[in-house]
Amino acid sequence: MAIRRICKYGEPILERKTRKVDFDAVKKTLPALLADMFETMEAVGGAGLAANQVGVDLRLAVISIKREDEPPVNIVILNPEITEKSGVSHEEEGCLSFPGLFAKVRRAAKVKVRALNEKGLPIEINAEGLFAKALQHEIDHLDGLVFVSRLPLMSRLKLKPALLGLKKKWKKMDESRLNKTDNAS
């Protein structure tokens, strides 16, 4: 397992629709990729990570739902599609590809998602709250949509100077360097 570098805003792969997963074609390499994605997400304290955020052009994402006093629930979605949406939520979001940036995004409060799990089996997920928000955020990534593109024009204009400032810092960030290569402590 290894922590991978996370692509930051401005890298073209984040704004391209990902390629549908052919389960049989990827099943041998999938466990290692998913293990790396979970490790990367945990290392930076994220709730979700899409494959294109680690430079892999595949329609898949991992999500980790944290619960109080219990181990997190880890979910893998391959080829996810939202089949139903209802209600409205308008809450603050962040993104591992935009470290340090947060903004309120309007989304559905509840969603139904169809996908395949890590074994290639069909699943249907009914989600609300944080889980619904994470699913919509990750599926947007897989469609090549970053969360700031969901903001109204005025908010995007206001964020522009902050974004430009942060972008310079992001260029130098490489999460893969968080890999522990020795135990010097």
The verdict on whether 138 is a catalytic residue reads yes
Residues of this chain that interact with Zn ion (CB under 5 A) are 95
Catalytic residue, chosen from 15, 70, 81, 138, is 138
Shortest Cβ distance from residue 20 to Zn ion (Å)? 20
In a 13 Å sphere around the CA of 138, the CA atoms on its Cβ side amount to 33
Single out the residue of 53, 51, 63 nearest to residue 20, CA to CA.
51
Residues 1 and 170: their CA atoms lie apart, in Å, by 24
Shortest Cβ distance from residue 27 to Zn ion (Å)? 26
Judged by beta carbon, residue 46 or residue 125, the one nearer Zn ion is 46
Q: What is the DSSP string of 76-145?
A: EEEEEEEEEEES-EEEEEE-TTSTT-EEEEEE-SEEEEEEE-TTS-EEEEEEEHHHHHHHHHHHHHHTT-
Backbone angles phi, psi at 51, to 5 degrees: -55, -40
Judged by beta carbon, residue 15 or residue 120, the one nearer Zn ion is 15
Residues 148 and 32: their CA atoms lie apart, in Å, by 30
Which residue minimizes CB distance to Zn ion?
A: 95
Judged by beta carbon, residue 21 or residue 148, the one nearer Zn ion is 148
Judged by beta carbon, residue 21 or residue 95, the one nearer Zn ion is 95
Residues 7 and 4: their CA atoms lie apart, in Å, by 9
Q: Is the dihedral of CA 95, 100, 104, 109 positive or negative?
A: positive
Shortest Cβ distance from residue 103 to Zn ion (Å)? 12
Shortest Cβ distance from residue 44 to Zn ion (Å)? 11
Active site residues: 138
